[in-house]
Chain A
Amino acid sequence: MISVNGLKKKFKLTKDHKKGITEAQQDPREEKDYFHSVRDVHFHCEQGEVLGLLGPNGAGKTTTLRMLSTALKPDEGSIEVGGVDLVKKPLAGRKAIGFLSGSTGLYGRLTAKENVEYFAKLHGMKGAELKQRCDELFTLLDMHSFLDKRADNLSTGMKQKTNIARAVVHRPKVVILDEPTTGLDIMTTQTVINFIKGLKEQGTPVVFSTHHLDEVALLCDRVTVIDQGLTCFDGTLAAFKEQGHSEELNQAFMNILEGHRHV
């Protein structure tokens, strides 16, 4: 369903970026004027599977997911979603993908309803189809009480629900989430987790990056670990524990990273 191979992305270093890097911290991803954020990333995820993308800060998770969501164009490599080559046909890919990140915001001066409807319209929906789909989501996510409030006045939980509705309003074939629970309280996190579970039940593949391994334990079928722009593990949750020599996910994660860095 989703298949990523040999993904690479480099950024031109600006003066600001260069300043941040001190001589002592020699980074293998630096090369003259470029910073190779993603050097070789691969993973795949089938129908009905949830894939957890793990990695330390700055590993290249966000960059990878942005390429998956067609916001960034990869330098090399291939991304296939449901048989469509996203690198060659980004526009077709956008219809197939729902994307949500922890830093995604809403238009503050539009109401919750208007926010969702705006994105539905941008996806080319209109009339009865649009209304029906929106109503369906509003009910599913229990949003009716705050539909006509401006997004600025919503609680974080309400905002996140609106964001979720916005991300899937066009019935995407796959859903990509970048740290969807970062900074959320327990209740709101639960909303997100339930939403991922719901997608899984429907058979929609989900790729999400996270730093919370308890979410991985709860939701994921597969795990991919990225470190310094390289995939250093890609497999099932069981294989993850095995290679990490631990039933405890945190420990397994650390062991895998450790092993990778010493090679």
Chain B
Amino acid sequence: MFEVFLKEIKELLRDRKTLMFIVALPLLIFPVIFAVVGYMMAMANLEAEQEVHKVYIIGAEAAPEFTESVKYHKNFELVTANYANKNDIIQAIQNEELDVGIVIEAKAQPESREQTTWQVIYNDSARINYLFIYIEELKEQYQSKVQTLSFNALGVTKESEMEFLISPIKLEKVDTADARESWGEKIGVLLPYLLIPIVLTGAVYPAIDLGAGEKERGTLETLLLTPISRTNIVLGKFLTVLSASLATASLSILSMGLWLFVARTFVNVSEFTVALSHITFVELLAMLSLLIPLAAMFSSIVLSISIYARTFKEAQNYMGPLSMLVFIPVMISVMPNMELTYKTAFIPVTNVALAIKELLKGTSEIGILAVIVGSSILLAVGLLAFCVRWFNQEKVLFR
């Protein structure tokens, strides 16, 4: 078995194409992704900052000072039109004549001493949008003026007293994990989409070479005629594929850690890198130990497929759908309400995706992780047993 393993590794290391997939892909994918995402975010930010929104205010006369401040804001342009009500504005926004409409209730006079509601009508699509933030800022400014006036009228003039009356108790939040959790949630959705297929890719190419490749080159028959048992042959091959897959997985995680570090050192811009820099070495290690049984599962599956196939091409045809299939459990993991529990910890692949997210968020539990690793190992052993039995069948080897 060891002899087979050593020889396969030697041959694998001499294959440039496979090495590309095992080494280059994980090393390069993260900087590329970081760069692309960073660039796109910066561009979107810039665009959002420079954008000038067309705004119309109904009931402007109720709050002239506020209207004034909107008029002189660099991101707003007051349009002259004659919209009578909310529906007119919605219509205008849909026709793209307008970006935002503000409906101020007529009773909104500071003297009336009544809370009023202003409606801000705009299309809040998912892209970065500072529009509401700007309006909120202007409202805050106006509101504090109104408050001061009202307090003065009541005879309250000291600033500290005003603050007390507005909000007698102030809560101070001191929590760095918070930023991490929210970013972990976002990145945690993305990362399994990368890592899990990478683990599979790391296994696929060597497996094709070691299974179908051996048939196509006509070396399988001679290998079967050596006194090594078929079980040992397939175990040797399995170990090779597993090593390749693990090399890919650890390189990916290493590369991710490295590039996060680089990002933190050199481009100290986004809070995202700061948040993620709290990820500890132990957590990266935990991620790797989740990926090991996963890699073993994938290795057994792709090796079984590859042994069955008669040629490289046939094997590749089978692998195509497989790499699509692997996205399904990852997709399940990002479905709403999917959380890592002792139940979901038993769903193969999905559980690993969920656990990676928890690890990124820094909210993982050792118990659940153990369940995931345990159940994955059991499944991996089962699949390996299948692979070994499969390799011992004539109808698989001589088709």
A residues neighboring B (CB under 8 Å):
11-12, 14, 66, 69-73, 91, 94-95, 97, 99-101, 103-110, 114, 118-119, 121-124, 150, 166-167
Shortest beta-carbon distance, A183 to chain B, in Å? 12
Residues of A within 8 A of B226 (CB): 94, 119, 122-123
Are A108 and B7 in contact, CB atoms less than 8 angstroms apart? Answer: no
What is the CB-to-nearest-CB distance from A62 to chain B, in angstroms, rounded to a whole number? 10
Partner of A94, one of B7, B14, B219, B225: B225
Contacts of A107 in B (CB 8 A): 7, 11, 217, 219
CB-defined contacts of A105 to chain B, threshold 8 Å:
217-219
* A106: contacting residue among B3, B219, B224, B225, CB under 8 A: B219
Contact B218 A118 (CB under 8 A): no
Q: What 1/0 flags go to B216-231 for Cβ under 8 Å of A?
A: 0111011111111100
Total cross-chain contacts (CB, 8 A): 71
- Once bound together, how far apart are the Cα atoms of A43 and B218, in whole Å? 27
A236 to B251 CA separation, bound complex (whole angstroms):
65
Q: List 17 A-B contacts (CB under 8 A).
A: A11-B395, A69-B221, A70-B224, A94-B225, A94-B226, A99-B221, A103-B218, A105-B218, A106-B219, A107-B217, A107-B219, A109-B11, A122-B3, A122-B223, A122-B226, A123-B226, A150-B14
Which B residue's beta carbon lies closest to that of A16? B399
- Distance, CA A175 to CA B287, complexed state (A): 53
How many whole Å from B216's CB to the nearest CB in chain A?
Answer: 8
Max chain B C-beta neighbours (<10 A), residue from A91, A101, A122, A123:
A122
Query: Which of A97, A103, A109, A118 has a CB less than 8 Å from the CB of B225?
Result: A97
Given A66-B398, A122-B227, residue A108 in contact with residue B217 (CB < 8 A): yes
B15 touches A104 (CB 8 A): no
List 10 extra interface pairs beyond A101-B221, A167-B222, CB under 8 A.
A12-B395, A14-B399, A97-B225, A99-B225, A104-B218, A118-B7, A122-B3, A122-B226, A122-B228, A123-B226
Chain B residues near A119 (CB, 8 Å)?
222, 226
| Contact present for A123 and B227 (CB under 8 Å) | yes
Shortest CB distance B31–A (Å) = 30
How many chain-B residues does the 8 Å CB contact rule pick out? 24
Query: Which residues of chain B in 1-55 are interfacial with respect to chain A, using CB atoms and an 8 Å cutoff?
Result: 3-4, 7, 10-11, 14-15
Counting chain B CB atoms within 10 Å of each CB, which of A12, A97, A118, A167 scores highest? A118
Neighbouring B residues of A123 by C-beta, 8 Å: 226-227
Chain B interface, DSSP helix/strand/loop, else mixed: helix
B10 (CB) vs chain A CBs: closest residue: A110
Structural contact, B398 and A110, CB atoms closer than 8 A: no
> B227 and A94: CB pair below 8 A?
yes
B residues within 8 A CB of A110? Answer: 7, 10-11, 14
Is B111 part of the binding interface, using a Cβ–Cβ cutoff of 8 Å?
no
Question: Which of chain B's residues have a CB closer than 8 A to the CB of A69?
Answer: 221, 225
Residues of A within 8 Å of B11, CB to CB, are: 107, 109-110
User: Which of B14, B223, B229, B397 lies in contact with A109, CB distance below 8 A?
Assistant: B14
In Å, the complex CA distance between A95 and B229 comes to 12
Q: Shortest beta-carbon distance, A149 to chain B, in Å?
A: 13
B137 close to A (CB within 8 Å): no
Determine which residue in A69, A105, A106, A110 has the highest number of CB atoms from chain B within 10 A of its CB, and name it: A105
**A31: min CB distance to chain B, Å:** 17
Which residues does chain A contribute within 8 Å of B3, judged by CB atoms? 118, 121-122
**Who on chain B is nearest to A104 by CB?**
B218
In the assembled complex, the CB of B12 is this many whole angstroms from the nearest CB of chain A, namely: 8
Chain A residues with Cβ below 8 Å from B221 are 66, 69, 71, 99, 101, 104
Q: Across the interface, which residues of B come within 8 angstroms of A95, CB to CB?
A: 227
Q: Is A72 a contact of B398 with CB atoms below 8 Å? A: yes
Q: State whether the Cβ of B394 lies closer than 8 Å to any Cβ in chain A.
A: yes
CB within 8 Å of A: which B359-395 residues: 394-395
Q: How far apart are the CA atoms of A123 and B229 in the complex, in Å?
A: 11
In the bound complex, CA of A166 to CA of B217 (Å): 15
Q: B229's closest neighbor in chain A, by CB? A: A91
Binary contact readout B184-227 vs A (1 if CB under 8 angstroms, 0 otherwise) = 00000000000000000000000000000000011101111111
Q: Are B227's CB and A124's CB within 8 A?
A: yes
Residues of B within 8 A of A11 (CB): 395
Residues of the B chain whose Cβ atoms lie less than 8 Å from the Cβ of A166 = 222
User: In the complex, how many angstroms separate the beta carbon of B274 from the nearest chain A beta carbon?
Assistant: 46
Within the assembled complex, what's the spacing in Å between the Cα atoms of A73 and B164? 92
Instruction: Determine which of B7, B10, B218, B224 lies in contact with A71 in the assembled complex, contact meaning CB atoms within 8 Å.
Output: B224
A71 and B398 contact, Cβ closer than 8 Å, known pairs A97-B225, A104-B222, A109-B15: yes
* A99 in contact with B7 given A12-B395, A66-B398, A107-B217 (CB within 8 Å): no
Nearest CB in chain B to that of A92: its residue: B227
Name, among A14, A101, A108, the residue most crowded by chain B CB atoms within 10 Å (CB to CB): A108
Taking CB atoms, residues of chain A closer than 8 Å to B394 are: 72-73
Residue of B at shortest CB range from A119? Answer: B226
Q: Which of B217, B225, B229 has the most CB of A within 10 A?
A: B225
Smallest CB gap from A71: residue in B: B224
CA distance A133 to B239 in the complex (A): 30
Q: In the assembled complex, which residues on chain A have CB atoms less than 8 Å from the CB atom of B218? A: 101, 103-105
Complex CA–CA separation, A62 to B4 (angstroms):
26
Contact partners of A73 in chain B: CB under 8 A: 394
- Expressed in whole angstroms, the Cα–Cα distance for A71 and B219 within the complex equals 12
